[in-house]
Amino acid sequence: MKKAFKMHLFPGEAGEYQRRHDEIWSELSDLLKETGISDYSIFLDEESNTLFGVMNVTDVEKLNELPNHPVMQRWWIYMSDLMQTNADHSPVVKDLKKVFYLP
């Protein structure tokens, strides 16, 4: 299953957001793969500071458990100064609806 979503980056934080993802923790990368996430990309609309994420997910149940994992929670705290977040430091995420697909 392909999942697409958007998040909002604070103005002026694009460079730091990129740097932190360029140096993604190996334990987080491993966790995402173990959760069944692959082909994961995040794009930035520099005019609106909107981040667009797209990923393949093989196991929705494992994906739903991801917020409970300590590594994920630490990443959220680490990233929370750069983007809009919820009270638990998770990013404010809006799922996107697929309207077209070209196989």
CATH of the domain at 35: 3.30.70.100
Residue 103 lies in a domain: no
Query: What's the pLDDT at 45?
Result: 98
Domain membership of residue 42 as a residue range: 2-95
Handedness of CA 87, 62, 58, 32 (dihedral sign): positive
Query: What's the pLDDT at 60?
Result: 92
Residue 100 lies in a domain: no
Residue 27 lies in a domain: yes
- Residue percentage of the chain with pLDDT more than 70: 100
CA-to-CA distance for 14 and 46, rounded, in angstroms?
A: 8
Q: What are phi and psi of 51, to 5 degrees?
A: -95, 135
Q: Please name the helix (run of DSSP H) or strand (run of DSSP E) that holds residue 39, with its range, or none.
A: strand 37-45
pTM for this one? Answer: 0.92
Residue 89 designated active-site:
no
Give the chain's domain count: 1
CA-to-CA distance for 84 and 93, rounded, in angstroms?
A: 9
Beta bridge partners of 70: none
Catalytic residue among 8, 21, 69, 89: 21
Residue 101 lies in a domain: no
